[in-house]
Amino acid sequence: MVDFHFEKIAAACAEFGAELDREKTERLTIYGNLLLSWNEKINLTAITEPEEVLYKHFYDCILFLKHIKPERGESLIDVGTGAGFPGTVLKIMRPDIKVTLLDSLNKRLVFLNEVIEKTGLEDICTVHMRAEDAGKSPVHREKYGIACARAVAAMPVLMEYCLPLVKKGGMFVAMKGASANEETAAAQNAARLLGAEKPTIICETLTGNERRAFVTAKKISQTPTKYPRKPSEISKRPL
């Protein structure tokens, strides 16, 4: 079993209240080892060196909690979750929140279901569905306090996928890289049309001076029922 040396990030995490106790470290270790094992069979991540997994996946996702503080029992949906980032890491770090992992590719969810089983996590589920379909479904539309996504799509497109899932008073959070300022500037109209405040950007620096930006927007009114549109319209005519 790979040792990801969580002691290297424990002090930095503790500074913003994200304590890496024994149970969390054990669950993250199980998760990381399953990720590397499954990645030999299906493409889950291009990052496979344990140190890079530690910083560019685990620490990156834990940083979310430095700036976004979910209420106890908050419902969070991770849109286009892929290998489970950030939703699964957030659930491990905050066992009190309720997490939904949404993805259109079922084999990723098969992997995540094994992670959930092997780590013993509760109040977390996987949903095999496209984001635009979830946004129209009464089961998911405007049901979540937080909708988040990491490296899924350009910001105006991502907002149309995510904001219909957020209830009034909730929050949209996108994890972005160096293009965050440009993308956010291009998404002002999308935020307005979809019922959100003007998005704000919070910047962090990972190892190797890699930039991470958290783009957040509070939902202040219901999303008009015509959104999300069909995927072809979303991609051809971003808001």
Which two tokens mark 135?
Answer: 């946004």
Q: Where are the beta strands (DSSP E) in 1-119?
A: 75-79, 98-103
Domain layout of the chain by residue ranges? 70-236
Q: How far apart are the first and last CA of the chain?
A: 46
The answer on pLDDT for 71 being more than 90 is yes
Report residue 209's pLDDT band, with 50, 70 and 90 as the boundaries.
confident
Q: Backbone phi, then psi, for 167, in 5-degree steps?
A: -75, 160
Report the distance separating Cα 52 and Cα 233, nearest Å.
Answer: 37
Q: Percentage of the chain surpassing pLDDT 70?
A: 99
- The model's confidence at residue 67, banded by pLDDT at 50, 70 and 90, is very high
Domain 70-236 sits in CATH at 3.40.50.150
pLDDT digits (tens, 9 = 90+) for 31-57: 999 999 999 999 999 999 999 999 999
- Does the structure show a pLDDT above 80 at 3? yes
The mean pLDDT of 207-226, rounded to a whole number, is: 91
User: Mean pLDDT in the chain?
Assistant: 95
CA distance 219 to 239: 16
CA proximity to 93, closest of 126, 119, 114: 119
> Tokens 């997994």 correspond to what residue?
53
Give the residue among 161, 31, 229 at the shortest CA–CA distance from 173: 161
CA distance 97 to 237: 35
pTM for this model (two decimals):
0.96
Interior CA angle at 123 toward 101 and 162, to 5°? 30
